[in-house]
Amino acid sequence: MQIRMRTAALFLGLAAMALCGAQAQDLKSFEQKITTKVLPNGLTLIICERPDAPVFSYTTFIDAGDVNDPSGQSGLAHMFEHLAFKGTSQIGTTDYAAEKVALAKVEAANNAYEAEYLKAVGRDENKLAELKKAFLAAQAEAEKFVIPNQFTDVAERNGAEGLNAETGLDDTSYFWSMPENRLELWAWLESGRLSDVVPREFYKERDVVIEERRMRTDSNPEGRLFEQFAATAYVAHNYGRSGIGWPSEVSQINATEAMAFHKKYYVGANIVIAVVGDVKASEAMPMLEKYFSKVPGGPKPEEMTTVEPKQFAEKTVTIREQTQPIYIEGYHRPDYRDPDDAVYDAISDIFSNGRVSRLYRSLVRDQQIAAEAVGFGGFPGTKYPSLFVFGAIPLPGHTPAEMRVAIHKEIEKLKTTDVTDDELQMYKTRTRADLLRGLADNQGLANDLAEYQTRYGDWRELFKQLDNVDKVTKADIRRVANKVFVASNRTSAEIDTSSPEAPAKASAANDGGAR
């Protein structure tokens, strides 16, 4: 459980792009193992039979993440994800009918408190204290009906391994592995929390989430750097917003908002579930269909209208603090559906993948100015037009400015001279091998199948993407580099080390609007 941040941990693995591609025979063999079914409510189920050991892994993939948080509610998708572990009307409660009434009172008490708290003029502090007391009393009343953590308890007692969830800007996924004889129990648990979620212990869990923000962002130099970087690179699109939520917003999200998010985005058409392991589709599918038909239908939520406008001015962020220097820069690039998507992957591979990569050889091995240097596509998401990011960790005594110069030199080379045949072939070979390697892991495969089914409407794209990989040419790489890696399209961010004696910086580490 200890999160061990080694030097530049953020960069490790960034370049490990989960790409796609393999021979046709693999696709064919997978077509025999995989059964897909779209239920009347729009929910897609995928079963991949891999009966090596009596276990299965699953991923529930929701096509909604923090990019979908309504204005003023950043962090909502993630907050909801936490709620999805709190049980349903059937699990986690001693008496749901009574709890429901108590929860409504909690919500009313919170609304009354918030209304007073947000008064710009004439806030009555005595009244606020009274309202807070009333809120705490209502919360305590509702807690009387709670059986804490019963949902996760039942899962864990039945052998759930790797039980977790992730909320990104683009999407939310829930996953674990279990012994195969618990498949129906899992279906009951999972379909329950997708269709019948209860805003139980919401406000305490909000505190937990704020604590998570402190850990990941406020108290972490790289967390702070990347948050400021995205916020600067984007002027219109939600990719510029803190994913875990701005302190003032995440601390004021309420349960009503979380439930509204659920109603809109957790509809069948927005959900793909993949199960991989010792499961027979012919037996399991009818059972799964019975459980997951409970998920509400509803239309696929409308796509957002905001498109990030073309950047025309270079932007920079400089954080001066006591931690060691880092340099990153990003260029706006199109989304994952762009015909050049594989070209960006090729650039990432050639720039970052291993000790043969251009940035390693140039900045680390030859110039000896950096400990690590990478270039990768797809920050802070991939679903919408995102950033292609370059970054480097300077060796002691070297500066972000030197990183910038050295990275620009490599980018210039990419624009003016073709990559070698060997480099291009290496990218294609490694991509193919990486796809194959990924097929050996139930959980990894479940994630991939659910994600590709969502993103392309067909899990087969996981294999078919290899065609696009094979089509990438040297000319494509030069063309894309010349189009995208230009100064006016650039945002850079760096940490400049200040001495402890320097005046304290405006403290990002403060709680902002958190109460």
Number of residues that bind another protein (CB under 8 A): 129
Give, as ranges, the residues between 109 and 168 that touch another protein (CB under 8 A). 146-150, 152-154, 156-161, 163-168
Nearest Cα neighbor of 493 from 405, 394, 410, 391 is 391
Going 443 to 444 to 448 to 449, the CA torsion angle's sign is: negative
- Tokens representing 179 are 């012994």
Q: Pattern of binders to another protein over 446-475, x per CB under 8 A?
A: -----x---x--------------------
Q: Which is nearer to another protein, 119 or 365 (CB)?
A: 365
Alpha helices in 200-269 (DSSP H): 202-213, 221-233, 247-250, 255-265
Q: If binding is defined by CB under 8 A, does position 29 make contact with another protein?
A: no
Contact 402, 368 (CB under 8 A): no
Give, as ranges, the residues between 358 and 387 that touch another protein (CB under 8 A). 364-365, 368, 371, 376-382
Q: Where does this chain touch another protein (CB under 8 A) — which range of 117-125, 202-210, 261-269, 408-416?
A: 202-210
Q: Where does this chain touch another protein (CB under 8 A) — which range of 261-269, 354-362, 401-409, 478-486?
A: 354-362
What does the alpha-carbon distance between residue 467 and residue 349 come to, in Å, rounded to a whole number? 17
Q: Which is nearer to another protein, 142 or 160 (CB)?
A: 160
Torsion of CA 58, 164, 269, 194, to 10 degrees: 100
Residue 433 CB, nearest distance to another protein (Å)?
3
Residue 13 CB, nearest distance to another protein (Å)?
8
Q: Where does this chain touch another protein (CB under 8 A) — which range of 3-11, 33-41, 399-407, 466-474?
A: 3-11
Give, as ranges, the residues between 484 and 513 that touch another protein (CB under 8 A). 500, 504-505, 507, 509-511
Q: Which is nearer to another protein, 270 or 447 (CB)?
A: 447
Residue 82 CB, nearest distance to another protein (Å)?
6
Contact 258, 82 (CB under 8 A): no
Beta strand 44-49 with 271-277: parallel, antiparallel or unpaired? parallel
Of 416, 425, 473, 482, the one binding another protein (CB under 8 A) is 425
What does the alpha-carbon distance between residue 329 and residue 233 come to, in Å, rounded to a whole number? 10
Q: Which is nearer to another protein, 114 or 180 (CB)?
A: 180
What does the alpha-carbon distance between residue 61 and residue 413 come to, in Å, rounded to a whole number? 40
68: amino acid identity, one letter: N
246: amino acid identity, one letter: W
Of 184, 412, 418, 467, the one binding another protein (CB under 8 A) is 184
Contact 21, 432 (CB under 8 A): yes
What does the alpha-carbon distance between residue 360 and residue 392 come to, in Å, rounded to a whole number? 10
Q: If binding is defined by CB under 8 A, does position 399 make contact with another protein?
A: no
**Helix (H, G, I), strand (E, B), or coil: what is residue 315?**
strand
Q: Where does this chain touch another protein (CB under 8 A) — which range of 48-56, 114-122, 255-263, 408-416?
A: 48-56
Of 39, 198, 209, 274, the one binding another protein (CB under 8 A) is 209
CA distances from 106 to 129, 194, 205 (A): 16, 23, 14
Q: If binding is defined by CB under 8 A, does position 241 make contact with another protein?
A: no
Residue 482 CB, nearest distance to another protein (Å)?
23
Give, as ranges, the residues between 269 and 328 that touch another protein (CB under 8 A). 278, 321-324
Residue 17 CB, nearest distance to another protein (Å)?
5
What does the alpha-carbon distance between residue 244 and residue 206 come to, in Å, rounded to a whole number? 11
Q: H or E element: which one contains 474? A: helix 474-484
